[in-house]
Structure 1
Amino acid sequence: MTAAATALHADAVRALDGWAVADPDQDRLRRDYLDHLADRPDGMWRACLPAHITASAVVVDPAGGRVLLTLHPKVGMWLQMGGHCEPGDATLAAAALREATEESGIPGLELLALDGAVRPVKLDRHRVHCTGKDQPANTHLDVQYVALAPAHAEEMISEESLDLRWFEYDHLPELTDVSVRDLVALARGLVD
């Protein structure tokens, strides 16, 4: 394993280990993620099966009271921006910010800092077919952040989305699952 891969793995452990979460279900997930990383030096990478860490960020425009969601081509649902860690990612937070910037097309996004530090806000474990439709499902251990968009930011759709749209917090699209709705509500509470 390269020095950069080892550093990213260590950063993920630090980010999760240092995150104090009051919700017992979220804390159980946090401990599961840490166990995964303790067992798997390759646990940050897409090739790590049956599970691997991913990073995402819900993009919000606090001034406009809106959230940007992407219509994911493989899932057919409106989701936050996110995806797999890459070798150039220095930190887990940097991976989330890179994904949010790439998928939204918005320059100048910043991750929300809580108590002076960028921290995850939520975890979500879900089954996916990221290695191909004809391959067995695997599990994403998603670490979620909040990305703040500049006021009046304009999105630019990428090849990773079918559509990209701003929604008012209280008017999310029907094709949004409870996990995304919970993440948006949490983000709204943190930025309002």
Structure 2
Amino acid sequence: MAIFDYKVKTASGLTTTLEKYKGKVILIVNTATKCSFTPQLTDLQKLQEKYGEQGFQILAFPSNQFADQEPLKDGEIAEFCAIKHGVNFPIFKKIDVRGDNAHPLFTYLSEQKPFDGFNLNHPVSKLLMSILNNRYPHYLVGDSIKWNFTKFLIDREGNVIERYESTAEPYEMEPAIEGLLEEAGI
């Protein structure tokens, strides 16, 4: 099954597939509005603006699985992201991204690109590791999503190319995004 076959719900609750993004370089990210990494939304929007016309698309999937950092309702999430961070890329319905109730898309993404560790040089990484080790040690087991703002880069054919953890800043992904955009000759 390719990512284009997965059914997802829009923030308004309509069921759709990711088929309409076929042919684009996609970045799928799980988000939260009350997280230390929430400022990444601003930089993600900058990437969308910089590369969108070249066939790049960010897709956001809010989740409240990590320390209740997404307390808002679906419509409120989209409004917050637009007003506070200028976000205009699609924000889908809030979902689970890990565990027994994880959306199948995120189970697939995690299987395609296993967890490879955090950037321990990021200023928040020590705090994140402390929280995970002390409160949620079971999150560190296996390849599932570890925290908010895990990002998956997908090529135009739907192949999962790279996984970036919460501690990866959006600008760090630019060389890989540019490479995938150039591969298509656009």
**Pairwise TM-score range, normalised by the shorter structure:** under 0.3
**What is the TM-score normalised by the length of structure 2?**
0.26
**What is the TM-score normalised by the length of structure 1?**
0.26
More helix by share: 2
More strand by share: 1
